[in-house]
A = this chain, B = another copy of it.
């Protein structure tokens, strides 16, 4: 799995170690399975983030660009840094939602790269919530964008260099292969959409197939199959699955089909998922399940009546303790 092609911002990650092993080590040392979701809405940032941008307007190197996009991107980056600072101790990873950065154009993409760097400084893994999926040549381009690098006549252009990314398997096995080979070459991981957390997941993913099982079961089998070659010494594969915390009734069956996959479990909190119901996710060990929460942590102060950082840290710690106890 060793590679001479390093991606940018990989921090302390050794490329010789598989994603599953890196994750297991990190979960154990931090005693946390909490993934901090970062879905920054420029209209709902922490007030301190706006203050920071205002007060930095005179001395920041980019203060010259006063376009709404550039200013909003600086505020988004400041917000994400504040949220990470407040909650990093309780978390094992951050999960930036790429859409929220992309809507700010080029400055938004820079804010995303900054956020990745801040997360690494705090010892956190980074999972890009990108949900990309395309035909093979395009999938290879997305893999370069997030996990690898792009050869150009001017030298290699490093990608975001995240530890893992979410991918959409609708286009089938050949569309996943470029992601798998790039991830594996760099010691990174994939989290494949198997059963999402939204009500509409029932429309397609839970449809029963003539050949048996639901569409989501078919995805699960695919995850297990392509993950077999990437199982580390901790017993976890580098190909994991996104399984919504909102459908706990499906967790056990999906865990049986994917005994070595890391489950990323979105939907806790605002969407109605409860940590207490996620036990099957942890069957392969404490790193078998990653509990993802976004608004539940970041907007906790809106209900708690406390300052944003204190309320976020408290909620992140509450989730951390719940999940850790469940997985012990």
Contacts and interface: CB of A to CB of B under 8 A. Distances in A.
A102 B211 contact: no
A144 B106 CA distance: 14
Number of copies: 2
Contacts of A139: 99
Given A109-B109, A152-B72, A207-B218, A145 B102 contact: yes
Contact of A42 (B131, B150, B175, B215): B150
A135 B271 CA distance: 11
A100 B134 CA distance: 12
Contacts of A134: 99, 131
A328 interface: no
Contacts of A175: 198, 200
From A99, A110, A168, residue with most partner B Cβ within 10 Å: A99
A174 B171 CA distance: 20
Contacts of A135: 196-198
A75 B155 CA distance: 13
B157 A69 contact: yes
A97 B141 CA distance: 10
A61 interface: no
Nearest to A45: B153
B207 A141 contact: no
Interface in A197-211: 197-205, 207-211
B215 A203 contact: no
A64 interface: no
Contacts of A211: 207-208
Nearest to A209: B207
Contact of A174 (B72, B103, B153, B199): B199
B106 A159 contact: no
A296 interface: no
A13 interface: no
A113 B105 contact: yes
Contact of A170 (B110, B145, B170, B174): B170
B105 A109 contact: yes
Nearest to A177: B200
Nearest to A70: B154
B150 A103 contact: yes
Contact of A200 (B72, B174, B201, B207): B174
B72 A103 contact: no
Interface string A66-110: 001101100100000000000000000000010110111111111
Contacts of A199: 172, 174
A168 B136 CA distance: 16
9 contacts: A100-B141, A106-B110, A131-B168, A136-B198, A170-B170, A172-B200, A207-B209, A208-B209, A210-B210
